[in-house]
Amino acid sequence: MITVRVTAIADETDTVKSFRLVRSDGAPLGPYPPGAHIDVTGPTGITRQYSLCGPPYETDSFLVAIKRETPSRGGSDAMHDTVRVGSELRISEPRNLFGLASGAAEHVLVGAGIGITPLLAMAHQLHREGRDFRLHYFASARERAAFQDLLEGSGFAGRVRFHFGVPRHGQQAALDAILSDLDPDQDADPNFGTHVYTCGPKEFMQRVTATASRSLPEDRVHIEHFQPPDPSGGSGEEFELELGTGEVFTVPADRSIVDVLAENGFDVDTSCREGICGTCVLPVLEGEPDHRDNCLTRKEKAANDQIATCVSRARGPRLVIDF
């Protein structure tokens, strides 16, 4: 973990504040890959994940924007109410589960609400590299759109289209219109053609994904998750967990792999413990994981060679992991 100091706080909207962070030891922060997030441990000791939203190529500071959640899961209230300029926080190195496709011909960024944050970093980077992109930003009202002034005054303002006050029942028509001209370019290399990236409320991202997937292969539609996976899958069956070193443990229906390993003296690095951050992912040597996380990509899940051990389980009676 890195200790950082808050050097500026800005009210981006009435519910969103941005925090500029510099290393307390004066060393540079960044550059970082656009789309990356960091773990931030706030004043209450609760760790949450926030996307970095400043220009990724700058190395003097990180910028995060935090929306006050209602109800708060414990992190956002403390950041809004307790953290001041000069406060110190602990952060992780940036991790990127939402990267830009390096060879894509065009990037279409579609965000809603606080989901603008990783897309803003992507827009900075794409503009700097002279790449072809467009950014669609949905917000309930102009005054609820964080970074609206920054976007309108940016060098890429002409690539940004705002969609203010689109009612939920009107979202599909708006998405049909903006995602109707995607270049499918069915080249075998999944990096080519148009790529779509979306971040925002779960239902919004599902709509964007379904709409874009009418024209694009699914590996060209990228999703950033701010929420833990849907727990409706339940706890699941008991299974046998074997380590690469030969130890064997039983994982009961109501315990996670991380829990069972900890009880037996094996500590897996964790952060969110909700299947979001990717810290606890370990290689799978044998068996089929029952993926219940939101941190591995669809492609990574299909490969079945790694598992988020804080939430995911086994599909069969036995799983062997490299630990």
| Interaction site with ligand FES (CB under 6 A) | 270-273, 275-280, 293, 295, 308, 310
Nearest distance from residue 116's CB to ligand FES, in Å?
A: 23
Nearest distance from residue 203's CB to ligand FES, in Å?
A: 22
Please check whether residue 117 is in contact with residue 51, taking contact to mean a CB–CB distance below 8 angstroms: yes
Nearer to ligand FES by C-beta: 72 or 270? Answer: 270
Nearest distance from residue 143's CB to ligand FES, in Å?
A: 34
Nearer to ligand FES by C-beta: 148 or 312? Answer: 312
Nearest distance from residue 295's CB to ligand FES, in Å?
A: 5
Bridge partners of 139, per DSSP, are 164
Q: How far is 276 from 153, CA to CA, in rounded Å?
A: 33
Q: How far is 253 from 298, CA to CA, in rounded Å?
A: 25
Other beta carbons within 10 angstroms of residue 104's beta carbon come to: 23
Nearer to ligand FES by C-beta: 12 or 293? Answer: 293
Nearest distance from residue 205's CB to ligand FES, in Å?
A: 18
Please choose, from the candidates 149, 167, 15, the residue with its C-alpha nearest in 3D space to the C-alpha of residue 77. 15
Other beta carbons within 10 angstroms of residue 136's beta carbon come to: 23
Other beta carbons within 10 angstroms of residue 278's beta carbon come to: 20
Nearer to ligand FES by C-beta: 125 or 271? Answer: 271
Nearer to ligand FES by C-beta: 273 or 291? Answer: 273
Please give the C-alpha separations between residue 128 and each of 57, 103, 125, 278, 288, in angstroms, as whole numbers: 9, 16, 5, 29, 42
Cα dihedral sign for 139, 145, 146, 152?
positive
Phi-psi category of residue 108: left, alpha or beta, with phi > 0 → left and psi -120 to 50 → alpha = beta
Write out 184-226 in H/E/C secondary structure.
CCCCCCCCCCEEEEEECCHHHHHHHHHHHCCCCCHHHEEEECC
Q: Two tokens at 167?
A: 């009612």
Nearest distance from residue 251's CB to ligand FES, in Å?
A: 15
Q: Which helix (H) or strand (E) holds 110?
A: strand 106-112
Nearer to ligand FES by C-beta: 11 or 322? Answer: 322
Nearest distance from residue 49's CB to ligand FES, in Å?
A: 8
Nearest distance from residue 290's CB to ligand FES, in Å?
A: 15
Determine the residue type at 35.
G
Nearest distance from residue 278's CB to ligand FES, in Å?
A: 5
Helices (H) then strands (E): counts for the chain: 7, 18
Nearer to ligand FES by C-beta: 80 or 225? Answer: 225
